[in-house]
Amino acid sequence: MGARVNVRFELSNNSNSKELGKFILLSSDIDGNPIEAALNFDFYPLWEFSQDTSSAYFDVLLLGQIVYSTDRILNRLAFSDDGWCRNIELNDVPVVNADLFNLHRQEFNTALSYLTGDNWTVSFSQIPQIEYSPEIEHHYNEDEYECVSLFSGGLDSLIGFIDKASDLHAGKKVLLVSHYDMGKESMDQERIFHSCAANEFFNGKYTSIKAKIGMNNCIKERKVKYENTFRSRSFLFFAMGLYCAQSISETQKVIVPENGTISINIPLCKSRRSSCSTRTTNPVSMKLIMRALESVGIRNPLVNPYRFKSKADMMIDCAQDENKKHILEVLSPLSCSCAKRSHNRWWDKDGAYIHENQIHHCGMCMPCIYRRVAMHAIGLDNPAELGTDIFHGTRYFDINNLQRKTSLDINMLLRFIRKINRPAVENELLAEGIDENELDRYVDLVMHSYQQIKDWISLKADDNIKRKAGVL
């Protein structure tokens, strides 16, 4: 089974308009019914900074938003033979430098295929030089910016922001680049920025650029849902950061702040091996993406300074400075790292309480568990901020019921940490393609990360959970 997606691009006939043009994805479902998706490409906030419509950076940005939206309209269950791996033929991606990109399209196919766990075949179509000149509302001085950092609104990106803001040279700023599709991500980011605006620590130290990129609407058979794994989002995020970074310098690095435990995302069971575990910032993914980018002349490095640290390590290191610790205490409750925040009808706390107390974390998914361990590391673990406390489940969560989806992640985790051993971890990482020169450091990271979880369980869990984790 394969999915063929064609791209139709209609350039705006008004060069002064903030709309670059119309991007339409055309495909069909398994029954032959048409799928037509109109994309929402909020280009203007990014263009205001870079003012580029002709370089390879611009083309990669176009590719990123089209790949992200293509990924979303092709539900894995409906468009794969095995319920996971899709064969995606993406045709006529509009770029200004089509000959260059078609020459190196295999590099992009390889990178995207590894990133999302699918088989991508992408081809590019030539478009003319674009005349885009809307009125500029925000004037930037690129010389003011010392670095570019991606900002999602999660705890890792928040720590990355705090760390960079604390060690800037005098008169310099960090440029934060944010993507949002649905309103929840935007609200996460806005909560933090609103608080930062009132904090002297951040005064004159940052600029935020946010762009909504997704779909305006999609006409298709109703029974086929959007894909919700978001495996390609990091590629779009990288493209946005690079597009802005090039205006500062063609060698300006883009900081990708994510803890190494999540980046590696070692599978907790056999069914989550290979691409079934997310690879958004996996070092192999980033290596392949950078190789594709270099093939079309993009030299700006994508750098994750936390790739050998757990989330708890990031918190501990950041909190060494008392001023930064205080900022963490204020801002960390405003961040969101949850992977299942839309499933709140299955949380133990009722809807009225969740709404009244603005609870954003389910408490049961792996990102929530990693977050709790990190918060615990500096004394901020607070079950009242979670939809469900896995140590004191009341309604929908039952640690002893292995058939319940709500308890699936924690049970897999407990089984994994009970059996974890260094040779098995090493074999898993080698199978994922981790560079042998970095293997020992990543194995150390995994062993260290899950020991931190064991220590947290030893202090907070009941005897039943401790036994399941092998710490009693």
State how far the alpha carbon of 27 is from the alpha carbons of 7, 213, 274, in Å.
Answer: 9, 20, 28
342 vs 393: CA distance, rounded Å: 19
Question: For the segment 192-243, what is each residue's pLDDT rounded down to a tens digit?
Answer: 999 999 999 999 999 999 999 999 888 765 455 788 888 999 999 999 999 9
Question: For the segment 369-427, what is each residue's pLDDT rounded down to a tens digit?
Answer: 999 999 999 999 999 999 999 998 877 888 888 778 888 889 999 999 999 999 999 99
Q: pLDDT at position 394, please? A: 76
Question: For the segment 101-155, what is each residue's pLDDT rounded down to a tens digit?
Answer: 999 999 999 999 999 999 999 999 999 999 999 999 999 999 999 999 999 999 9
282 vs 137: CA distance, rounded Å: 37
Q: Which helix (H) or strand (E) holds 103?
A: helix 98-103
Q: Where are the domains of the chain?
A: 337-469
300 vs 311: CA distance, rounded Å: 26
Q: Which helix (H) or strand (E) holds 188?
A: helix 183-197
- Cβ neighbours around 155 below 10 Å, total: 26
Q: pLDDT at position 286, please? A: 97
Minimum mean pLDDT range among 171-185, 256-270, 271-285 = 271-285
Tokens matching residue 346? 């299955």
Reported for 459-466, long-range contacts at CB under 8 A and 24+ positions apart, including other chains, are: 459/376, 460/376, 460/381, 460/391, 461/391, 462/391, 464/399, 464/400, 465/390, 465/391, 465/399, 465/414
Nearest to 286 by CA among 436, 130, 82, 433: 433
The overall pTM is greater than 0.75 = yes
Q: pLDDT at position 272, please? A: 58
Strand partners, 175: 148, 207
Extract the runs of DSSP E, i.e. beta strands, from 283-412.
302-303
Q: pLDDT at position 403, please? A: 76
Tokens matching residue 299? 């030299």
Question: For the segment 7-42, what is each residue's pLDDT rounded down to a tens digit?
Answer: 999 998 888 899 999 999 999 988 888 899 999 999
Minimum mean pLDDT range among 275-279, 369-373, 440-444 = 275-279
Instruction: Indicate the angle between helix axes 233-248 and 105-116, nearest 10 degrees.
Output: 130
Contact 159, 40 (CB under 8 A): no
Q: pLDDT at position 185, please? A: 87
Q: pLDDT at position 224, please? A: 58
**Nearby residues of 159 by Cβ (< 8 Å), 6 or more positions away:** 257, 306, 314, 315, 318, 328
- Give mean pLDDT, residues 325-345: 90
